[in-house]
Amino acid sequence: MLVDKRGSRSRILQFIESYLQRHHRPPTVREIQQGCGFRSPRAVSYQLERLEEMGSISRQKNSRGILLRKHVADGFPIPVFPSIPAGRPALTEEPADETVRLTPESLGISNRTACFAVRVRGSSMIGAGILDGDLALLEKKKPREGQIVAALIDGECTLKRLIWDSRLGHVLRSENPDFADLRPVQDLTVQGVLVAIVRKVE
């Protein structure tokens, strides 16, 4: 059963546009399948048929015969969660309550579908230029030591710098001397790596 048809079509259009920009030729059905995570070429062909009916694309009788008829809207939606503590960690399971549209290329985003954003609360990261109320844009990917991450530490979520301590293992470090390092008692799971900070200037 096909689900989220509208989202699937939008994902295909964005992939085609991105592929054209990188390779200066349209992708094949197989490349769309791999790039967008479809289970079969037939699922891609079905969505291409719908996009052609909508006038978003036209197709010719060759493997790279997909032509865009309409430009994909600038930017793409990223789910925004109400808040993430940049102070003492706090338990949160709040759902996303809004979205923000951003252009991935300008922010160094490598995987659109792995992005999310959160509102920052607190002052523990002011030394890194991250202020209370900022919008932190994160990407779900493997972190490197020293990167700022959103992490779940013993069931509580926070935004900190990931540091390796030879005695303690991984710890989460603030960018404010008023806050001590956080060491997991049991679990530490990185949920996303900070890509950018978006701030509204009054």
CATH number of 5-68: 1.10.10.10
CATH architecture of 76-198: Ribbon (2.10)
Domain with CATH 2.10.109.10 in the chain: 76-198
* pLDDT given for residue 64 in this prediction: 84
Whether the predicted pLDDT of 91 surpasses 60:
no
Tell me the pTM: 0.54
pLDDT in tens, 24-33: 788 999 999 9
Q: Which residues are catalytic?
A: 124, 160
Domain with CATH 1.10.10.10 in the chain: 5-68
